[in-house]
Amino acid sequence: MKIKNICCIGAGYVGGPTMAVIAQKNPDIKVTVVDINAARIAAWNDKDLNKLPIYEPGLDKVVEEARNRNLFFSTDVDTAIEAADMIFISVNTPTKTYGQGKGMAADLKYIELCSRQIARVAKTDKIVVEKSTLPVRTAQAIKSILHNTGNGVQFQILSNPEFLAEGTAVQDLIAPDRVLIGGEQTKEGLEAIQALVDIYATWVPLENILTTNLWSSELSKLTANAFLAQRVSSINAMSELCEVTGADVNEVANAIGKDSRIGPKFLKASVGFGGSCFQKDILNLVYIAKSYGLNEVADYWEQVIIMNDYQKRRFASKIIQTLYNTISGKKIAFLGWAFKKDTNDTRESAAIYVADQLMEEQANIVVYDPKVTADQMQSDLNYLNTRTEEANATNLTTVLDPYEACKNAHAVAVLTEWDEFKTYDWQKIYDEMKKPAFVFDGRGILDQSTLESIGFHFYAIGK
């Protein structure tokens, strides 16, 4: 079975870049990415590649090559579904904010809506691919919706979770550690798996394309994120122990990372992990485990989140304590708001929670981030519902110049590891700050001895 026409529902951080790369590498396949968000689609179609709705290094080049050749962005979901022989579902699956499983379970309403739309529109057989991260056994629910249309159309459901990380999405898509494809182990299921393998095989070595049953594939995605986040919480837990014992967390991470069984990646102590997925996926895992009555399994993984929340609070508390337990009316400069460097994404960013805690103490926060807009920062704070929108707008402001952010500040806090922060004229920043001048490096990117020799009082996590 040779796929000629792909539709992807959801033009977000995953759907956009993933389909752009599939289209780039398969010029003979027509790829249409659809979304109900018209502004987002318009941005994907914008002639000015700086206006793409998401910022990812290298993405503009890929889009430029494939767009309007065999890559299209549209709001006409029905037409794209009807024309496609393979449909990726790449919509958001946030944590539920209501009802049963509130605050834990994944909200699958967008997945169900897509499934129902496909069931309603499809007139020819299709392969439906779960690209979104989903609770294990979701394919069962999708199947039951699709197989009850009564119109004779046949569907195969595949799970093909995405492992890209933001900020390196294009690189991760072009050279993935592995591609994972799960499907039914029937003749038709195996044919569908092969059709998707063929698409990836145009650029991914076959030995890096793993095929499994549906449930292993769905569960592997949640497991991968849980393991990655657990490493961050583990090193963050050690960071506090380092601070009280005189050990240096970077030295500890380096020492343990040399053990090939542990490995050096994902051992950077920080102000806490953020991003749209780690917390959501672990909460989902905890919920699933509990729903099967596996309470010890649930408690084990929940601790990863508890540790992460603690790390964010601990960083904010450190700032408050160090500034003589009173930050009311003090200016605190934030360098960075995104949840990691090289992205404009702020979902679950540690900066939001640290800012919120400091604002409860009536600090004035002034933020500089190279990619995040003032509106986004305000909407992140307003979402927490801690205080009025007016109070948020008064107590947290955004500037476009890092030196302006730091001028007359009592303290500078580094919340994102943007490379440019390392290259600033820290002497100038020091000269223009209130004294004593404090720096709180939540990302371990600044050189402590250089900053201390300028005169800063310096705090880094885990030292």
Chain centroid to Cα 378, Å, comes to: 19
Can 406 be counted among the known catalytic residues? no
User: Using an 8 Å Cβ cutoff, are 57 and 167 in contact?
Assistant: yes
Find the part of the chain contacting ligand NAD (CB under 6 A) among 28-36, 42-50, 259-267, 304-312: 28-36
Report in angstroms how near the CB of residue 245 gets to ligand NAD at its nearest.
36
Q: Cis omega (within 30 of 0) on the bond before 436?
A: yes
Near ligand UGA by CB under 6 A: residue from 164, 283, 332, 439: 164
Binding to ligand NAD, residues 67-126 (CB under 6 A): 77, 90-93, 110, 113-114
CA distances from 315 to 108, 392, 408, 410 (A): 34, 20, 22, 16
What is the identity of the amino acid at 458?
Answer: F
Residues in contact with ligand UGA, counted by CB under 6 A, come to a total of 21
Residue 133, interface with ligand NAD (CB under 6 A)?
Answer: yes
Annotated active-site residue in 7, 8, 242, 277: 277
Enter the tokens of residue 288: 């699933």
User: Using an 8 Å Cβ cutoff, are 32 and 80 in contact?
Assistant: yes
Partner touching 232 among ligand NAD, ligand UGA, none, CB below 5 to 8 Å by kind: ligand UGA
Near ligand UGA by CB under 6 A: residue from 270, 284, 344, 398: 270
Dist. CA 308–CA 412, nearest whole Å: 22
Edge-first strand listing for the sheet containing 209-212: 71-74, 30-34, 5-9, 86-89, 126-130, 155-159, 179-183, 209-212
Question: How many other C-beta atoms are found inside a 10 Å radius of the C-beta of residue 375?
Answer: 9
Task: For residue 17, say whether it is annotated as part of any ligand binding site.
Answer: no
Dist. CA 22–CA 87, nearest whole Å: 13
Partner touching 270 among ligand UGA, ligand NAD, none, CB below 5 to 8 Å by kind: ligand UGA
Encode burial over 150-168: b for 16+ CB neighbours within 10 A, e otherwise. Answer: eeebebbbbbbbbbbebbe
Find the part of the chain contacting ligand UGA (CB under 6 A) among 138-146, 272-280, 316-324, 351-359: 272-280
User: Using an 8 Å Cβ cutoff, are 156 and 127 in contact?
Assistant: yes
Task: For residue 132, say whether it is annotated as part of any ligand binding site.
Answer: yes
Task: For residue 346, say whether it is annotated as part of any ligand binding site.
Answer: no
Partner touching 267 among ligand NAD, ligand UGA, none, CB below 5 to 8 Å by kind: ligand UGA
| Binding site listing for NAD(+) | 10-15, 35, 40, 91-95, 132-133, 166, 277-280, 347
| Binding site listing | 10-15, 35, 40, 91-95, 132-133, 162-166, 221-225, 261, 268-274, 277-280, 339-340, 347, 443
Q: Which residues are catalytic?
A: 277
Question: What does the binding site for ligand NAD look like in residue numbers (CB under 6 A)?
Answer: 9-15, 34-37, 40, 77, 90-93, 110, 113-114, 132-133, 162, 164, 166, 276-277
Question: What does the binding site for ligand UGA look like in residue numbers (CB under 6 A)?
Answer: 133, 162-166, 225, 228, 232, 266-268, 270, 273-278, 339-340
